[in-house]
Every structure is written in C-alpha cells, then in structure tokens.
Amino acid sequence: MERSLVLLKPDCVQRRLMGQIISRFEDKGLNIIAMKLLQVTPEMSKQHYAEHVEKPFYPGLEEFITGAPVLAMVIEGLEVIRVIREMLGATSGLKAASGTIRGDYSSSRQMNLVHASDSPEAAAREIGLYFDAAEVLDFTPCLTPWLKAGDE
Ligand code: CMP
C-alpha cells in the first residue's frame, strides 16, 4: 500500500467542487485515511513548494495557495501516487486530457484544483507537513474485499 498527500486547492474550495472531486477518489476505490480543512501560511507554502521557491511563478503561487482554505487528505491505495496523478491529468488544465479531473474542471496552469505527491519521498515529506502522525488513521474499509483480490 502506498500513500499520497492530496490537496484540494483554494480554487477547488471556492468553486464548491470538493464533493465532486472527493467522489472521484472514492469511486475509484481509494481510501481516505486523513482529512483536514486548513489555511496554508506563507511559511508552509515555502516548505511545501521548496523546489519552486526560486521560480518566477512562485510569488503568484504563494498568493494563490494562501488565499483561501485548502482541504488536505492522505489517500491510500495500491500504486496510489501514480494512479492519482493520472486521474489529475497534466499540470495545466488547458493541456490535461478530457476525462481527467483537471481536463474536466480546470482551464488554468496555476488554478489546477488539486495537488498530489509525485513520489514516495515527496509523499512522506508532505504528509508530515500537513498532518500529525495521530491524525492519519489505520483504517481498512469493510468493502475492501469487493474492491481488489486478496493477493493484489
Ligand atoms: P502542483 O501540482 O501543486 O505543483 C506546483 C504548482 O505550481 C502547480 O500545481 C501549479 O498550481 C503551479 N504551477 C506550475 N507551473 C506553473 C507556471 N508555469 N506558472 C504558474 N503556476 C505554475
């Protein structure tokens, strides 16, 4: 089992799309094992987006990500990091394929609705930034035997 840190960004919260996006992950059979609505601070933004801090678009990204609440989740599943990034589509909503979350709901490079970890190392770092260990539940939904075979 793998874990990913998923953020429904301020544009997603403001556009009242949280329910529809959460449903996509639930419908896929992925497990939400932590969830929290919070306001990202400039300090958290710099830690989260450390690799982008020196890039020209970073000031706008910080203003955007701190501009309204975000919904942070930890989602667990088989190969979940790749699976979720494929569900999101390309970074820019203008380039993301139809049928992906960004392809269906976003027409922007910055306001692309959802962030998801891009590697196990990033997931561990990002989960630690948004959640205390006790907030991440050890939870196996009772439907699990109907969502995958025991040896998968
Ligand atoms: P995310 O997957 O959260 O990772 C970094 C974020 O920076 C990205 O989604 C976009 O919201 C934003 N981003 C990436 N590239 C650009 C860009 N060229 N201009 C503006 N914002 C960008």
5-63 tens-digit pLDDT: 999 999 999 999 999 999 999 999 999 999 999 999 999 999 999 999 999 999 999 99
Q: Tell me, what DSSP letter sits at residue 98?
A: T
Helix axes 80-88, 18-28, angle to 10 degrees: 130
Residues catalogued as catalytic: 115
pLDDT above 90: percentage of residues in the chain: 98
Please count the residues of the chain.
152
The CATH classification number of 2-146 equals 3.30.70.141
Q: Whose CA is nearest to atom 5 of ligand 1?
A: 49
Sign of CA dihedral 51, 57, 62, 64: negative
Q: Whose CA is nearest to atom 14 of ligand 1?
A: 110
The CB of 115 under 6 Å from ligand 1? The reply is yes
The CB of 110 under 6 Å from ligand 1? The reply is yes
Nearest-angstrom CA–CA distance, 100 and 89: 5
Q: How confident is the model at residue 111 (pLDDT cuts 50, 70, 90)?
A: very high
Model confidence pLDDT, tens digit, residues 113-131:
999 999 999 999 999 999 9
pLDDT confidence of residue 6: 98
Cβ(100)–Cβ(87) below 8 Å: yes
Q: What is the arithmetic mean of pLDDT over 90-107?
A: 98
